[in-house]
Structures are given as C-alpha cells and as structure tokens.
C-alpha cells in the first residue's frame, strides 16, 4: 500500500477512479487512453486496474465529433449548444480482453500484401502511388484496389501505367483504378499532375512516394539538377508540397516515403557540420551512382521526419520505410552490371507475391494517439 501511495495510486473507493493528475481520453476511433499531466505521458492501460477499454456504440443523439487546429478531438452538443473535450461515450465503456497471441507472430517475412490487408474495407479511401506500374509500387496499388480503394497510379510511362491498370482490372473488374502521367524528373510535370488531381475534387487519404531510380548514369534533368536526386527526392518533395492542402483537408491522412537502409552509408554535411548542397546534385566529375542513391534516400528520411513534425498536429502522419534488403524488384534496370548482380541474388530474395508489406500498414492505421514505425529503419 505504501508503494501505491508513493506512486500516486493510493487506495480509493473504486479501482476505476483515476489518481490525481490523470485524465481519461478517447481516440477518434473509440479507444480509451490515459494522460498523466504530471509526467506528461500517455498510456493505454488504466493506471490502477491495468485494464484497456474502448467506448461502446456511437455518440448520443445531437452530438458530433470534430478536430481543432492542433489535431485534438473535441465534441459538440448541438442540442445544448456546448462543446467539450470529454467524450460523452466514456460513460459507456467496455473492457478490451485481448486474446492470447499465437506462437507465430501475426506478420513475418513470408506475409503477403493481401494477408496484411485481409478484412480491410478501403472503399472510402483515395490513394496515390508513384512508380506504380511495376515492382513494389504495382503490388501496393493492386492490393489497395482489390480492397476497394480508389487508386491512382502516378507513372512516367503511360503505356506501362495503362497496362498495369488492365492487369488489376483483370483480377477484379470493379476495381477503381486509373493511371495518370507523372515524370518526377520534370518539376513542370509534377505541377501538372497535382493540378490534374485537384481538378477531380476528391480527397487524398494515402500518398505513397515509391518511385525511384538506382544506378543511373550521371545526367541533368530539364530543371538542371542531377537526375537521381530529383527523381528520388526533390520530385516527391515538390509533389507533397503541392498536395499538402488536400491531405490536410482529408485528415486523417497518411504519407509513406519509401526510403532504404542504404541511407546509413552516406553523409550530406561538410566538415563544419553544415548541409553541403553540392553533394545533393553533384557534377559529373564528382558523381558516383551508388552514393547518389544513398544520399537521396537519406533526404527521404529527413524530409519524412520533418513533414510528420509539421503535419501530424493537423491529422496527417508521415513515415519513411525500408522495404527489405532481400526484395527483388526492377530498380536495377539502369545498368547491366547491377542487373547481373540482382539476377545472381534472385534465388535468395522474396518474390513480389510474398512482399513484406508491414511498412505500408502505417498508411492504414486508424487515428490514434501515436503511430509506431515498425520495420527495420
């Protein structure tokens, strides 16, 4: 009992009574969590009973759920004309009895995209995926579309994009999927894509920045920038900026940036610790394809972290992900040497059908007080 008192959990009339400094709150999707204002932390378990709870049923008649500018959920009582941050459903909570987990974890290296999304109804979601005509992008687009989402394949090559659309429709003729032109090596093309998408007057719930080039010889884009840097990072950076208003108005929304574990093997700062812009878009003399790719992937992560810091209070979560070291794709196509190496390694890699899709669960998570990045970043 002394230990309980020391921890601020002294005995009360009920185990459900909260200790001083604690507050009961709910997430947008009805899960109960507890905020400790003294220690400035939150947790799912009741601080005394250790139980997890969720609200039962919908809001009472006349009540509506809203979100303020900081992303905090509040409730409007239209009958009595008042607002409160206290969920009226807290009076009708039920205990969440978690089922004992099986000995095999739910998802592992053999999980497929379709297994991850099993049971998901995405019929109200709008998704944009760059580089979606092949590889990881195509598997992602197909999986979302087969679960009811309206999916836009943002592709540089429209012929391949339309072929990818037909392949998805061949699996389910009612899939809502289309291809749109997007060349990340052209900032004008990025702008045109954003304008064309906005003209559809639809929300945007999930944006997956997947397209990338690897091992490409040095060349400049029409914008005068090294192509690997622009395609892998800057083009996506500009795309997100142009679509930010749509993402915010569609909250809860998600941005997923496909990066790589190779971001660890490079640096973009000079000897004084300042950002060296010449490293991002190097001259032909200073260019090395592998290093350029690594730097672009590091830029992806830095961008994703800052974007999440700025937009998460507005209901837009951003995460960078590593798709897996042993994943065979067509990213090696820029140079025959890389193609040879990837071909030799292919017997030891995962096929697309068993693509480890756990990273993209981040784009599907329901609104909650925190989003934990799972995977191997």
Q: Count the Cβ atoms, other than its own, within 10 Å of residue 108.
A: 9
E strand or H helix that includes residue 155:
strand 150-155
Q: From the candidates 33, 34, 150, 293, which is the catalytic residue?
A: 293
CA-to-CA separations, 334 to 69, 287, 294, in angstroms, rounded: 45, 15, 16
Cα distance between residue 128 and residue 207, in whole Å: 5
Helix H, strand E, coil C: the string for 203-241 is CCCEEEECCCCCCCCCCECCCCCEHHHHHHHHHHHHHHH
Number of alpha carbons in the 13 Å side-chain half-sphere of residue 285? 1
Planar angle of CA 85, 362, 162, nearest 5 degrees? 125
Cα distance between residue 248 and residue 271, in whole Å: 38
What is the rounded (10 degree) CA torsion for 134, 139, 144, 148?
90
Give the closest residue to 161 by CA, choosing from 188, 191, 193: 193
CB 364 within 8 A of CB 120: yes
SS3 of the chain: helix, strand, coil, percent, to 5: 35, 20, 45
360 carries an active-site annotation: no
* Catalytic center residues: 293
């Amino acid at each position: 009992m002394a230990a309980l008192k020391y921890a601020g959990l002294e005995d009360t009339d009920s185990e459900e009574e909260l200790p001083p400094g604690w507050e009961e709150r709910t997430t947008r999707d009805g899960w109960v969590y507890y905020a400790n204002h003294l220690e400035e932390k939150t947790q799912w378990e009741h601080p005394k009973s250790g139980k997890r709870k969720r609200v039962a049923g919908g809001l009472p008649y006349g009540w509506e759920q809203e979100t303020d500018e900081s992303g905090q959920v509040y409730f409007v009582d239209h009958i009595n004309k008042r607002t409160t941050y206290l969920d009226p459903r807290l009076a009708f909570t039920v205990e969440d009895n978690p089922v004992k987990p099986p000995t095999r974890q739910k998802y592992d290296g053999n999980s497929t995209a379709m297994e991850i999304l099993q049971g998901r109804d995405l019929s109200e979601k709008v998704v944009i995926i760059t580089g979606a005509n092949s590889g990881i992008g195509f598997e992602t687009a197909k999986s979302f579309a087969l679960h009811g989402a309206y999916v836009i394949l943002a592709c540089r090559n429209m012929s391949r994009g339309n072929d990818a659309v037909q392949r998805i429709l061949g699996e389910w003729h009612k899939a809502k999927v289309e291809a749109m032109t997007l060349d990340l090596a052209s900032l004008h093309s990025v702008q045109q894509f954003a304008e064309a998408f906005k003209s559809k007057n639809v929300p945007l719930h999930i944006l997956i920045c997947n397209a990338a080039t690897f091992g490409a010889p040095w060349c400049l884009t029409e914008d005068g920038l090294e192509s690997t840097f622009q395609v892998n990072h800057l083009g996506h950076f500009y795309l997100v900026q142009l679509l930010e208003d749509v993402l915010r108005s569609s909250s809860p929304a998600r941005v997923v940036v496909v990066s790589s574990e190779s971001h660890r093997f490079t640096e973009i700062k000079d000897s004084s610790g300042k950002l060296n812009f010449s490293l991002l878009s190097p001259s032909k003399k200073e260019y090395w394809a592998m290093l350029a790719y690594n730097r672009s992937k590091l830029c992806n992560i830095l961008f994703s972290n800052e974007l999440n810091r700025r937009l998460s209070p507005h209901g837009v979560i951003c995460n960078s992900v590593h798709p897996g070291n042993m994943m065979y794709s067509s990213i090696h196509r820029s140079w025959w040497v890389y193609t040879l190496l990837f071909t030799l390694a292919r017997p030891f890699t995962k096929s697309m059908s068993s693509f480890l899709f756990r990273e993209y669960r981040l784009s599907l998570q329901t609104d909650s007080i925190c989003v934990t990045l799972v995977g191997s970043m």
